[in-house]
Amino acid sequence: MQHRYQIVQPEWIVTVNSDFEVLRGFAVLIEDNLIHSLVPNDEIAELDCYAQAEIIPLPNCALLPGLVNSHTHASMSLFRGMADDLPLMEWLTDHIWPAESNWVCPEFTVDGFRLAAAEMIRSGTTCLSDMYYFPGEMAACAQQIGIRSVVGLIVLDFPSVWAQDATEYLHKALAVHDQIRELPLVSSAFAPHAPYTISDEPLRQIAMYSNELDIPVHMHVHETAAEVAEAQQKTGQRPLQRLDQLNLLNSNLIAVHMTELDEFEIERVAEAGVNVAHCPESNLKLGSGICPVASLLELGVNVCLGTDGAASNNDLDLLGEMRTAAMLAKGSSGNARACDARQAIEMATINGARALGMADLIGSIESGKRADLIAVDLSDLNTQPLYDPVAQIVYAAASRQVSHVWIDGTAQLKDFEFCHLDTNEIIAKAASWAQKIRS
């Protein structure tokens, strides 16, 4: 079989390896869908594959691992801007859940996912962990587009457009897990919505299946103070305590939001190896609270980043989330050293990969990993002068500066232009949905 080679020559390589090396004068050799090696520029011409390789010079660019969006509801992009400036429960119960009941169907899910995937690729996200209805259709769409995805196998107690009760949700979840297991770019995670929407028995079953299948459990947890207070009033327990008793606090759990944590809970999360998906901009916009990221990082908790859905953010820009996360951690802790630029990039790359069980595949630029890569052009006015590329990426760069994106070795964005997606068609379908929903 003839192999395909690409030699990418950026100004800097931000490896995000265990030493967080930032290299200059090196190129990345991609063989098919894998990072073959990192090669000094003066040795490139000596490579056996040099004559047949595509040479991609990227002056003024930093090459990073593709960003990992650890929590989103991609298809909800079609509800972007529909119900702004409202607190979480009013936003959900009075606007989002009724709209979902009226409009969500397989076609909605696929069209919304395409819109979100295009936005994410354009801003440097190469992998996402999603939670929404019709995950089988979403998985097929993700594979067709070529974006690495973990589709959430949603579970609720109450009826929705997807299922009628927890038993049916679980039955469908397991069927989708089996259905998509051969898709190269797609995997699955259980996605019970939240402690307040799911009873004990389905959660026990999810804990059992997660352990048996070794797949993540992706769940909103401690999102607001009101959620925690209501749980205490109804059950006498805080939600994390209940999840602990149901055997869900372990390294398979991706606990999303986590804005309300006491000192004991932070220690317990660290002890259990729970992953925390921090969604700073959505939490701020909904007035939901602030995740104690500085304290979690100090205890070694694997904190990753998510955008949440565009209906509550209102964008899917992980570069922006990195900056907000870093600033918020500093401001809320009173410590300017908290969540430094290096940690912010780790949260958006290797930490997300780790949470999804993919740290051996993606999240850093190392030999043998999948070639999920992005280039950020740092020659713009807002990133000049340049003393430290890592700091500039986190504190100054904008998503419009993402010039190239590769997913599994395939170029998805080249010289700021999509290689495969038809944005005019995607935008037209979004406009068509908006017209229907408004009418």
pLDDT of residue 97: 87
Is a pLDDT exceeding 80 seen at residue 188? yes
Of the chain, the percentage scoring pLDDT greater than 70 comes to: 100
Instruction: Name the segment(s) of the chain with CATH classification 2.30.40.10.
Output: 5-65+370-418
Task: Note the pTM of the prediction, 2 decimals.
Answer: 0.97
Whole-angstrom CA distances from 143 to 19, 402, 408, 412 are 33, 22, 11, 13
CATH of domain 67-355: 3.20.20.140
* Strand residue runs (E) in 163-230: 186-192, 217-221
Query: What confidence tens digit (pLDDT) does each residue in 4-60 have?
Result: 999 999 999 999 999 999 999 999 999 999 999 999 999 999 999 999 999 999 999
In Å, how far from its chain's centre is CA 278? 10
Instruction: Name the segment(s) of the chain with CATH classification 3.20.20.140.
Output: 67-355
pLDDT of residue 166: 96
Instruction: Tell me the average pLDDT across 136-143.
Output: 98
**Rounded to 5 degrees, what are φ and ψ at 210?**
-60, -45
Query: What confidence tens digit (pLDDT) does each residue in 149-179 have?
Result: 999 999 999 999 999 999 999 999 999 999 9
Is a pLDDT exceeding 90 seen at residue 206? yes
The answer to whether the bond into 385 is cis (omega within 30° of 0) is yes
- Whether domain 5-65+370-418 has CATH 2.30.40.10: the reply is yes
* Strand residue runs (E) in 182-238: 186-192, 217-221
Q: What angle do CA 19, 65, 403 make, to 5 degrees?
A: 135
pLDDT of residue 439: 77
CA-CA distance, 123 to 413, in Å (whole number)?
10
